[in-house]
Chain A
Amino acid sequence: MTSPDSKHDADAALDARIAALTRSAEPRQRVWTGIAERIRPVRRAGWPWAAAAAVVLALAIVALQPDRERSSTGSERALQLVQAEVEAMRRAAPVVTADWLDERPWTEAWADNQVAIDELEAALGRDPDNRLLLDFLAEARLRQARLIHAGLAHSPQTRMTL
Chain B
Amino acid sequence: MTAAARGDRDAFERLYRAHATGLFPALWRLAGGDRGRAEDWLQDAFVQAWGRLDQLKDPAAFPAWIQRLAINVALSDRRRAGFRVASEAPDAAAPEPPWPGADLDLERAIATLPDRARQVFVLFHLCDLGHAEIAERMAVEVGTSKAQLHRARTILKEKLT
Taking Cβ atoms with an 8 Å cutoff, the residues of A that contact B are 10-11, 13-14, 17-18, 20-28, 30-32, 34-36, 38-39, 104-105, 108-109, 112-113, 132, 143, 146, 150
By the criterion CB–CB under 8 Å, are A14 and B7 in contact?
no
By the criterion CB–CB under 8 Å, are B24 and A27 in contact?
yes
Within 8 Å CB of B5, what residues of A?
A: 105
By the criterion CB–CB under 8 Å, are A23 and B25 in contact?
yes
In the assembled complex, the CB of B14 is this many whole angstroms from the nearest CB of chain A, namely 11
Within 8 Å CB of A105, what residues of B?
A: 5-7, 54
| Total A-B pairs, Cβ < 8 A | 95
Secondary structure call for the B interface: helix
Within 8 Å CB of B43, what residues of A?
A: 31, 34-35, 38
- Comparing B83-91, B101-109, B140-148, the segment that makes contact with chain A is B101-109
Type the 1/0 row for B23-59, where 1 means its CB is closer than 8 Å to any CB of A: 0111010000000001100110011001110110000
B22 at the interface (CB under 8 A from A): yes
Taking Cβ atoms with an 8 Å cutoff, the residues of B that contact A are 5-7, 9, 12-13, 16-17, 20-22, 24-26, 28, 38-39, 42-43, 46-47, 50-52, 54-55, 80, 97-99, 101-103, 106-107, 125-126, 153, 156-157, 160-161
Within 8 Å CB of B50, what residues of A?
A: 35, 39, 109, 112
